[in-house]
Amino acid sequence: MIRAGKAANEKGVPVVIDPVGVAATPFRTTAMKEILTEVKPTVIKGNAGELAHLVEVPWETKGVESIGDGDADEIASKVTEAYSCTAVVTGKTDVICIGNEMLHNTTGHPLLGKITGAGCLLGSILTACLSTNDAIEQQVLTAVRFYGLAAEYVAEQTDVNGPGTFLPHFIDALSYDPATLERT
Ligand SMILES: Nc1ncnc2c1ncn2[C@@H]1O[C@H](COP(=O)(O)OP(=O)(O)O)[C@@H](O)[C@H]1O
Ligand SMILES: Cc1ncsc1CCOP(=O)(O)O
């Protein structure tokens, strides 16, 4: 990961770091410290518990889950300052900090919190959006908004009854034209 990150930094390729479960085990904590010392991220994204840990703000976590409550704006702002990057704190409301600017996204659905890998998959969508020529604000907002709209769209389908049926339909929806997913 460090070699890949450094190579991306040298070539100006965007780097997204998701510190999955960084507070859960000493191995993950040490590995993430090492990565963030060697690699300059374009975006650090994660749930509030993960990003709070990176900036030493107390926040309750359990494994890869964030179960605490607090000021996500503060976490995002501290991550941006500490790591000189864009911060995306995910949750019911996604908080994005870019420089001095704070943006919020409210698209999404509680079923995203019931499937494993919702945050990881968002990382892939985000990375894809960072490959466009748009400004970074637009790239990040497009990613989180599209992802949440896809979840909302799918949750309304009559054959979606819970996390098991939600997941395959959600993956289908991520291939749809964004205009299809817009709220009516
Ligand atoms: N209660 C919720 N309501 C709406 N969207 C949610 C909710 N919880 C999580 N999400 C969405 O799920 C995605 C993953 O976020 P999150 O659950 O915080 O990540 P992780 O899986 O890393 O813990 C994000 O797009 C976020 O907006
Ligand atoms: C690495 C790992 N270990 C257990 S679940 C998981 C992935 C967590 O994914 P997400 O936080 O996106 O639900």
The pick from 112, 114, 140, 145 for probing ligand 1's pocket by mutation, whose C-beta has the most ligand atoms within 8 angstroms, reads 112
Q: Which residues line ligand 2 (CB under 6 A)?
A: 20-21, 64, 116-120
The per-residue pLDDT for 184 is: 81
The CATH number linked to 143 is 3.40.1190.20
The pick from 116, 122, 125 for probing ligand 2's pocket by mutation, whose C-beta has the most ligand atoms within 8 angstroms, reads 116
Q: pLDDT digit string (tens) for 90-136?
A: 999 999 999 999 999 999 999 999 999 999 999 999 999 999 999 99
The per-residue pLDDT for 159 is: 97
Q: Counting atoms of ligand 1 from 1, which one is nearest the CA of 151?
A: 5
Alpha-carbon span 155 to 132, nearest angstrom: 29
Whole-model pTM?
A: 0.97
The per-residue pLDDT for 134 is: 98
- What is the predicted ipTM? 0.96
Q: Report the Cα 59 to chain-centroid distance in Å.
A: 17
Average pLDDT over every residue of 34-42: 98
The per-residue pLDDT for 46 is: 98
% the chain with pLDDT above 90: 98
Range of the domain at 26: 2-181
Confidence of residue 23 (pLDDT cuts 50, 70, 90): very high
Q: Which residues line ligand 1 (CB under 6 A)?
A: 46-47, 65-66, 90-92, 94, 108-110, 112-113, 118-119, 122, 144, 147-148
Tell me how far the alpha carbon of residue 7 lies from the centroid of ligand 1, in angstroms. 30
Q: pLDDT digit string (tens) for 56-80?
A: 999 999 999 999 899 999 999 999 9
The per-residue pLDDT for 97 is: 98
Residue 161 φ then ψ, to 5°: -115, 0
Average pLDDT over every residue of 168-181: 97
CB 140 within 8 A of CB 96: yes
Per the DSSP assignment, residues forming a β-bridge with 101 are 98
Number of domains composing the chain: 1
